[in-house]
Structure 1
Amino acid sequence: MTDYFSSEDTIDNGIKELKKDIIENVKMTIKNLNYSPDEEIYNLFNDLKSIEEYLNFLNIFIKDKNYIALVYMTGILPIKKIGFSSMNNFIELAMVDPSWMAKYIGFTDEEVQKLCEKEKWYNGYNLIDDENNRVSMYTPFSVINALDNKSIRNYWNKSSSFEYLSNYIHMNYDGLKNDTILLMEKGTIKIDVKTYHNDMTSFKWKDDVFTLLVHLDYLCYDEINKEVSIPNNEILEEFEIYTNSKDWSDLFRDFQLAKLVEEAHDEADKKTNNNEASLKYTIKLAYYAARINYTILDDVDSGKGYTDVILNPKRNCKDSAFIVELKYMNSSESGMNQIIERNYSSRLVYYKDNLLLVAINYDKESKNKKHTCTIKKYDKNKKFK
């Protein structure tokens, strides 16, 4: 419409140009049309003779032709009736009464939901083109198979390269295990892709392994933010296959607890600074609802030091007791060693068969400013699990 109503033309001139173009287009459909742009435009559509000629044309073209089994015509308005129309062989399905055609008029909700499900499974590769625009890409092999088989599931063409790289992840090479868990929990990791040497052996640190996984399409690389992530459910399922073991289950458990504490810590930071006092407040805030079944104590003297937080089950509560050691700018492993070496468990002698030791650390100087957590079950034989 901007072609007709620019700032330089008046509205009247714009209407004249619009009428002229409409008439020219109608003349292309109705031959020998004698009509002037000076006439009112609505008269063009009241030209009964032209309408009748068009209907006769359709009737002659379609009716009683052996070589035509079905004619499907689309339009925005029903065919205009002129008296006793000869178009009695037409079935009109309009928006006011679409009948069996209803589901073919546009995309149904079910179809859109299936499209969204395909997006979750096969999308996620966000690339940057030469004009710095994001291009969202799907996995072509998987999409084709999903359409052919009419089933949304894992069609990933497994690579032996990933199995080879999983050995580095299992060995926790340069902290790969913890970062892999973060990725599987829909997190992102910043990496430097420039250090990778384009082979499968010269790995100096974990960024090289992640870069190779990007080239193998197991990870998506955000060129703007310099971050990697797991692109979709199909790839996530591949990671789940290779992390399905007891040691991985323990790491996932520790990660989940650290994540919950981190969320509570974010709330606590509004009231206190990032230090052990803040972490202690965080634990109390996170376990506020636990006061129904627990007595929460802090700075309890164990004889060799002070336990940061103890969660002592109340009478008739069969849940585990907790000893929690909090560290700031240190490590959760050092916190666990402190619990064991200083025999903090002596304060909970009645719960030694059902006692969990928990150490939590917050390091604000780390790349991702993440909490770390270590959990062990107390063993009276000093064999902590």
Structure 2
Amino acid sequence: MAELKLFPIGLQDFSQIRRNGYYYVDKTDIVYKMTHTDRVYFLSRPRRFGKSLLISTLRDYFLGKKELFTGLAMEKLEKEWKQYPVFHLSFAGNKFTDLKSLQIYMNFKLSELEKIYKVTNTNEYEWGPRFEKILKAAYEQTGTEPVVLVDEYDAPLLDTMDNPELQLVLKQEMRKLFSPLKDIGGILRFVFLTGISKFSQLSIFSELNNLNVITMDNEYASICGITKEELFEQMKPEIQALAENNDMTYDEACAGLTKKYDGYHFTEKSPDIYNPFSLINALSKKELKNFWFATGTPTILTRLIKKYNMDPESFDKGFPATLEMFDAPTETATDPVPMLYQSGYLTIKKYDSPEYVLGFPNDEVRDGFCKALLPYYATELVSQNDIFIMKLGRAFREARLEDALKEMKAFLSSIPYNAEKQNENHYKTLFYLIARLCTPYVVKTEETSAAGRSDMVVETESAVYVFEFKLDGTVEEALSQIDSKGYLIPYSVTKDKNGNDKKLVKIGVSFDSEKRTLGEWKIVEN
């Protein structure tokens, strides 16, 4: 068997990756093109998508570290290998919960640079004049144009999303820091800024009227992340190892990786892009798990869930949107779509000018999003939710339908009452979340068919269960709707692994709004 690649799990430093023999997906041809096309760029991509690795690649390129690029596209493209003074500012990995924490960080970074270039700080907390003096000193002392690289510029603003007053104060501090970038732009060789979102971009960088935003440029669509071509052309031995470890065929492993981690499109003509963090973890550990979400529910998502009444089912099916609806500064947004798109929970599924269709990129995001949403619709005790989902999945898997319904009734009865929340739409979303989260424990839950979709469809190895819940209605009305709407029709030719027809079962359930749980139910096998 071919020797497997050593993947840089949790490592985002280009120099360390290259010096220690870790696998690197070569993006240096795009880096060369970018650095020889324009001077001031902004790029937003979701968390853990390789922005820090891109920044460190740019850093080592501008530091003239030719030896790190041996064997890469850059080796043939670059002829001069000139060395520039590089200023690398990263706000990633820090928590900025008050003005003092940001001031301490900025003072520390600028003091370090002042020592290097022998600059005396006479401006105290005036970041702009201090930074300008350092950049000018570097230019005068080296005779070479400085390079400025800023990673996760928006971290302080995302940390203070739920405190607009503090956020405004931090925004002003950040604006001070970046203000000299336009005034002395003539002596700068290159400026590159990254973030998760376009949060306050216009106000923080308002002076940078020459800023080239490449977030949605087709030519830079694959600058972060791993494309389908890169995966299937360069990582065949690792895919085979994943397949063998999970008793799958090579094709099944490919399909599993695609379903779980693919689906990102950042521009109208973007290639299929896989989440790089999840993909290399899956190939390294030989497991198909939710790695991106397993790092913890992002605080951004938690805050959005609290602030907005979100409909995950529309994200699942895909919904139409204009560019202005999602590629917008987050500070002016009146709904969660811009932040959800820019944070990687939604992506472009289809484009037919001028209309886009946005939706969940893949199963990992869908499952993680639903799991993060469940505490707001059920109980805040995550372990209780998880135990219920496991028990329900096991009951479905073992064809114990009565037990599944009893588990569901007991679970719904345990949910604390909230008069404001618990309307028909609340329960519709709750049933959707339950069905979706059962997926890892059964086979799958179905998408909407042309005939429409019942409240819940669960497919196991041997059967397809179609549920219809009637709020304060009868089980007969529920069963009648399954028949009249033809909800079972799409599954009439569904086969099990032995080629036999799967059992089709319809379940009509009445939902008692007063008791806030299931009332009667009736199970009919077709």
TM bucket, shorter chain: 0.3 to 0.5
Instruction: Answer 1 or 2: higher relative contact order, Cα 8 Å, separation at least 6.
Output: 2
Q: Normalising by the residue count of structure 2, what TM-score does the alignment of the two structures yield?
A: 0.26
State the structure with more CA Rg: 1
Q: Normalising by the residue count of structure 1, what TM-score does the alignment of the two structures yield?
A: 0.35
